[in-house]
Every structure is written in structure tokens, then in C-alpha cells.
Amino acid sequence: MKKMDILSRLKQAGVIAVVRGATNEEALNACHAIIKGGLTGIELTFTVPQADRVIKELVETYKDQQDVVIGAGTVLDAITARLAILAGAEYIVSPCFDQETAELCNLYQIPYLPGCMTIDEIKTALKSGVDIVKLFPGSAFGPSIISAFKAPMPHVNIMPTGGVSLENMQEWFEAGVITVGVGGNLLAPAAHGDFEEVTKVAQQYAAKMKEITR
């Protein structure tokens, strides 16, 4: 039930904000700004210093907001995945597939979203209990690749990350993705300390998501 609930909330979120930052303070402020803007999916990457502490603080802050789902990104191994899960991460995202991480996430009933670029990689991930594969980098393909993947595997749930923008987000969903990962232009203002602008951009993505789903 726990895993299915988290997967449902990821789908409902629609847009997952991939949050990086030069400092943990920058990343934390960016997350607050994004959630303030109406996006409820946060992927806090382990390129952020002391990422597990940031995840723990976010989980504590938003524990009463059931629609907010906090996960860990750029998880390269099972040790990091366990650290993230103990901090409260509700899902784990990797740039590539890792068998030990998949097994650990299954053990804790935590969704694992590994980066995949080929049918073979997707097949391996699905056999290991993965429910959503991360198409990464999405910019290397574009929305048209989704139908190619879904032709032999119509049941696969795909989340493209990299190359998703306000301009092409609808194309991705029309192609059949379950959710999208967004970083880049959403987080760009945070590097200059302009978190109000981060909120404004998040509001634009949230509005676009409502437009797509209505």
C-alpha cells in the first residue's frame, strides 16, 4: 500500500522538480519556493551538500501536506539510497539502473526510478520491480521516442527528465508519459538568490499541468 500510494502521488504531481544547488541552503530555499508555486513533487539531488539533511527537513516541514512528495535524485548506489530513505525520501531516482539499489528500494517498498535510454535497459529495470523508468536525458530523444518505446512495451511508465520545458510539456504527455522531471529553467533563478522568480516559474508549470489534465 505504501509504494502504491507514493506512485499515485507522483502521478498526481505531474511535474517533478529536480533540485540542485551549490549549498544546502540554496537547495532548501528553492524547494520551498517551488512548493509555494504549486508544484508538489520534489527530487532533491545528492549533488547538494548534506542532501540527506535537506530531505529530512523537507519531509518534516511538509509532513501534513499529503500531496507533497519528497524524493532523492542522483542516487548512484544502494548505500546512498538507504541514507536517503532513512532521511525520509519517499522515492529514489538514479541517472542509470543499479541492481542493488532496485533490491534495496523493493525491500523498503520505496519506488525506484532509474535512468534508461534503451529497450534493453528498460526491460532489465522492469524485471527488477521498477514501476517508473526515467528517460534520461530526454533532450537526446524528444517526445516522439515515447511511442517507439511503448510499441513493444505498452505497459511501461516513463518519466522524461532533461529537455522538458513549458513549451513542449504537453507534447510529452500527449506522447504517453506518466510524469515529467524539470530542472534547468525552473531552478536557474535560484543560483542568483531570486527565489521569488523560482516561485513564479513554478506557478507557470503548475498552471500548464492543470491545463493539460483538465
- Sorted by sequence, the CB contacts under 8 Å of residue 99 that are 6+ apart come out as 128
Query: Does 134 qualify as catalytic in the annotation?
Result: yes
Q: Is residue 116 part of a domain?
A: yes
Q: Is residue 182 part of a domain?
A: yes
Name the active-site residue from 3, 26, 90, 134.
134
pLDDT digits (tens, 9 = 90+) for 133-163: 999 888 888 899 999 999 999 999 999 998 8
Q: Is residue 187 part of a domain?
A: yes
**Looking at residues 66-87, what average pLDDT do you find?**
97
Q: What is the DSSP string of the chain?
A: -HHHHHHHHHHHH-EEEEE--SSHHHHHHHHHHHHHTT--EEEEETTSTTHHHHHHHHHHHTTT-TT-EEEEES--SHHHHHHHHHHT-S-EEESS--HHHHHHHHHHT--EEEEE-SHHHHHHHHHTT-SSEEETTGGGT-TTHHHHHHTT-TT--EEEBSS--TTTHHHHHHHT-S-EEE-HHHHGGGGGT-HHHHHHHHHHHHHHHHHHH-
Name the active-site residue from 26, 43, 90, 208.
43
Quote the pLDDT of residue 137: 86
Segments forming the whole domain that contains residue 175: 2-207
Give how many domains the chain has, as a whole number. Answer: 1
Q: Is residue 213 part of a domain?
A: no
pLDDT digits (tens, 9 = 90+) for 14-45: 999 999 999 999 999 999 999 999 999 999 99
Query: Does 3 qualify as catalytic in the annotation?
Result: no
Q: Is residue 214 part of a domain?
A: no
Query: Residue 12 is part of a domain; what is its CATH number?
Result: 3.20.20.70
